[in-house]
Amino acid sequence: MNAPQLAAVLLAGGSSQRMGQDKALLPVKGFRHLGERNWQQLIDLKPTVLWLSRQPHQVELGLSAPDGCHYKILADDIAGAGPLAGIQAAVKAALNDQIDELILLPVDMPHIRSQDLQQLISSGRAACKAACYQQDSLPICLPLYLPVSQELLHWLNEQLQNPAARRSVGSLIHTFASVQLPSPGTHALTNTNTPDEWAKYARY
């Protein structure tokens, strides 16, 4: 049996409104910016392809992929619809490019590690289900391992085209079967949305 074709996707297309600056460009020791730091975590997974979810008007991050790994930038079909729009664009591209599965990582997690992502991939593959972490018995919706299907794309399209829908990753997890793993700890699941959060968590 052929190995599954994995797309590793960095979600870096949000408005960063609460941060007051582009979160992907926040400075990180050892890297040019947070976007590059988390891109490296995805490279370490050795995926089939690397995709960057980023809007045309946003600053180019200057990222690249290793030899033999295809890289492209995906823009949301529906602007301002949050991470679900980035996921929809990735699922649509995956079906078009014969990609079987996605690992989706938001750019604003300064302590996530490639091994944390690999655990989601391994557990999701074994169960043939979506996989995320949980904390205090509640799902942490991203990062997320996601098997690709036409059914999933249909659901995403319906959500994004319905102004009354929640348009949340949590709704996706509750709608489709998922594996929820215990938190890996070490602040791995911390995300930063405001300058105060960045000042607090960047020092770990």
| Residue 178 pLDDT greater than 90, yes or no | yes
In which region does residue 186 sit, left (phi positive, over 0), alpha (psi from -120 to 50) or beta (all else)?
left
Burial class (CB in 10 A: 0-12, 13-18, 19+), 111: middle
The rounded mean pLDDT for the chain is 92
Most trustworthy range by pLDDT among 2-6, 58-62, 93-97: 93-97
| Distance from chain centroid for Cα 68 | 22
Burial class (CB in 10 A: 0-12, 13-18, 19+), 150: exposed
Pairing of strands 178-182, 130-135: parallel
Cβ atoms of 159 and 82 closer than 8 Å: no
Q: Answer for the pair 174, 165: CB distance below 8 angstroms, yes or no.
A: no
Residue 180, phi then psi, degrees to nearest 5: -120, 115
Q: Residues 22-60: pLDDT tens digits?
A: 899 999 999 999 999 999 999 999 999 999 999 888 889
> What is the model's pLDDT at position 16?
72
State how far the Cα of 98 lies from the Cα of 26, in Å rounded to an integer.
34
Residue, of 114 and 138, whose pLDDT is higher: 114
pTM check: above 0.85: yes
Of all residues in the chain, what percent carry a pLDDT higher than 70? 98
Span 123-152, average pLDDT:
94
Instruction: Answer whether residue 3 shows pLDDT above 90.
Output: no
Q: Is the pLDDT of residue 182 over 90?
A: yes
pLDDT at residue 187 in the model: 86
Q: Can you give the pLDDT at residue 119?
A: 98
Output the pLDDT for position 204: 62
pLDDT of residue 138: 81
pLDDT at 20 over 90: no
Contact 120, 132 (CB under 8 A): yes
Distance CA 199, CA 145 (A): 29
Asked whether residue 123 carries a pLDDT value surpassing 80, the answer given is yes
SS3 178: strand
pLDDT interval class at 17 (50, 70, 90): confident
Is 90 exceeded by the pLDDT of residue 139? no
3-state secondary structure of 131: strand
- Residue 1 is predicted with a pLDDT of 63
Ordered structural domains, the chain, with CATH:
6-201 (3.90.550.10)
